[in-house]
Structure 1
Amino acid sequence: MTVTSHQPETQRKRAVVTGASSGIGAATVRLLVASGWDVVALARREARLRALAQETGCTYVVADITADESVAQAVEAITAGGRVDALVNNAGGALGADRVDNADLEQWSRMYELNVLGTFRMTNALLPALRETAGSIVVVTSTAAHEPYEGGGGYVAAKFAERVAARTLRLELVGEPLRVIEIAPGMVHTEEFSLVRFAGDQGKADAVYDGVPNPLQAEDIAEAIRWSLSMPAHVNVDSLVVRPVAQAAYTKTHRVTS
């Protein structure tokens, strides 16, 4: 595990962003830093984190949220470096698009481990630090956490579980000055999400967005996260669903044909 800091500790608010090496995570790091936060970017790919730190001045921690020991070491380094006012659980992803009756259960297991157990491994480990600052827990789910679609059984199951666990945590923390916020993005065109889902098949990844006018960008979701965290401390954004105008539901998307 590597920890690198490019700025002195201050009393500014401090956020931890998981899945920060690309897409929504990297965009969130950029926007929070620009908005005056100290940010710890966390992911597995050190080269990308190093470049992000050089670009933004954030701190970074290399860690795997699916491994207990890695998370424990990361949290030790994070808390030694200062306060924690927000945890943005962004790390996650989809693998495959198989029908339920042809499911690759190993992929289902990997999605559950990453999207659900990884999120709450980080959350539980950082709860003591967040309690000290009356902090915020952001869980980036998906519209797949709210509605099923064909070919999405494993991902939908994982995201439903992530959302319901976050909702349960919200209930259990009532009476404590902690916020639990769900951000549920619809179609977001990032460089890796669909490419990873389809095992590097660029054609299949591109087809997801073909003809869709103005799908969301990572920066749009980063702004939703920033806005939710900027609300007064007594305001909890329980659940915020964000879609492009062209997408009314996961299975109802306008596409322009040539």
Structure 2
Amino acid sequence: MTDLTGKNAIVTGAGRGLGAASAKILAAAGAAVMLVARDSVAVAEVAQQITDSGGRAVSMACDVADYHAVETMVAATQKQFGSLDILVNNAGVIDPIGSIASSDPKLWARNIEINLIGAYNAIRAVLPVLSKTTGTIINVSSGAAHRPLEGWSAYCSGKAGLAMLTRAVELEYAEQGVRIFGFSPGTIDTEMQVKIRASGINQISQIPRENLSSVADAARGLVQLCNAENDDLIGQDVSMTDANFRSRLNLT
């Protein structure tokens, strides 16, 4: 396991799914973790599970689409832990699912606000700190960033923008020691997949639940990127379906 003793991390969208699993693995690796989500009860429960297991974690309600709220959260994290080393931009939504012509403009815009602008807000708030600490940023990406899928116009657009944001941060801040990655976890068994299957739209909705990938394995892959051994992947969208990366995790 990657040794993150003495490191401090923020994980957005940490109330369930990949965010919760990643926060637990970060804590097990020795990091102190700030868990963030709009649902204060959900993140508090995950934080309690971590502390009950001997880890160090705190939680805070925060809407990543609100820059002031994000800035306040980052300041609270620094006050709590003293420094900051890792940001995991995991907060994301799939809605609205449906054709462009039938989509609700407010829901479409909200998707972009969370999936793209929310990630920008967190990056913007932590860069002054991470550029001084050789910090790591992991943006949770998707295969949808690189190909359109029927009914997912908002999601694909937001993730495509996030992939370019990852590259932009690498271009501007790599020389200052900032390590940034996109991370595509694959089609994993989360609550988002329940919505996708219920929609019946595009081929992803047809994947049986028993064929979905492990959330735990994806979380391990995400946390692995905090290890300097993966510096050759900085600035890239790293996929859990990539055989070379899976071999680093001893997965077939």
* TM-score range normalised by the length of the shorter chain: 0.7 to 0.9
1:15 alignment counterpart: 9
Alpha carbons of structure 1 residues 236 and 28: separation in structure 2 relative to 1, 3 Å: same
Counterpart contact for 2:96–2:103, Cα < 8 Å: no
1:60 alignment counterpart: 59
Alpha carbons of structure 1 residues 48 and 209: separation in structure 2 relative to 1, 3 Å: farther
Deviations 1:4-60 (A, max 9, x none): xxxxxx970111110000100000011111111111111121211221121102121
Please, which moves more after superposition, 65-74 or 231-240?
Answer: 231-240
SS of the residue corresponding to residue 174 of structure 2 reads coil
The CA distance in 1 between the partners of 2:104 and 2:62, in whole Å, is 26
Deviation for aligned residue 1:105: 2.1
Counterpart contact for 1:86–1:136, Cα < 8 Å: yes
Q: How does 1:225-244 map to 2 (within 5 A)?
A: 225-232=222-229, 234-237=231-234, 238-243=236-241
The CA distance in 1 between the partners of 2:110 and 2:71, in whole Å, is 20
1:223 to 220, 223, 241: 220
Counterpart contact for 1:98–1:104, Cα < 8 Å: no
Give the residue type in structure 1 aligned to 2:32.
D
1:35 to 29, 34, 37: 29
The CA distance in 1 between the partners of 2:96 and 2:76, in whole Å, is 34
Deviations 1:62-106 (A, max 9, x none): 211111221121111011122111100000111032122333222
1:51 alignment counterpart: 45
The CA distance in 2 between the partners of 1:49 and 1:100, in whole Å, is 33
Unaligned runs of 5+ in 1: 1-9, 246-258
2:248 alignment counterpart: none
Q: How does 1:154-193 map to 2 (within 5 A)?
A: 154-190=154-190, 192-193=191-192
Alpha carbons of structure 1 residues 194 and 222: separation in structure 2 relative to 1, 3 Å: same
Q: How does 1:198-217 map to 2 (within 5 A)?
A: 203-204=198-199, 208=205, 210-211=207-208, 213-217=210-214
Alpha carbons of structure 1 residues 95 and 36: separation in structure 2 relative to 1, 3 Å: same
Q: How does 1:4-153 map to 2 (within 5 A)?
A: 12-57=6-51, 58-81=57-80, 82-153=82-153
Give the residue type in structure 1 aligned to 2:126.
L
Alpha carbons of structure 1 residues 151 and 181: separation in structure 2 relative to 1, 3 Å: same
The CA distance in 2 between the partners of 1:132 and 1:178, in whole Å, is 8
Alpha carbons of structure 1 residues 187 and 11: separation in structure 2 relative to 1, 3 Å: closer
Deviations 1:172-221 (A, max 9, x none): 1132111111101221111x2144x56xxx8448x936535431122122
The CA distance in 2 between the partners of 1:26 and 1:174, in whole Å, is 28
Deviation for aligned residue 1:234: 4.7
Please tell me the root mean square deviation across aligned C-alpha atoms, in Å.
2.4
Please, which moves more after superposition, 171-180 or 212-221?
Answer: 212-221
Please, which moves more after superposition, 112-121 or 56-65?
Answer: 56-65
SS of the residue corresponding to residue 174 of structure 1 reads helix
Deviation for aligned residue 1:243: 3.9
Give the residue type in structure 2 aligned to 1:240.
V
Q: Which has the higher helix share?
A: 2
Unaligned runs of 5+ in 2: 52-56, 244-252
The CA distance in 2 between the partners of 1:56 and 1:174, in whole Å, is 32
TM-score normalized by the length of structure 1: 0.81
Q: Percent identity?
A: 28
Give the residue type in structure 1 aligned to 2:15.
S
Counterpart contact for 2:89–2:119, Cα < 8 Å: yes
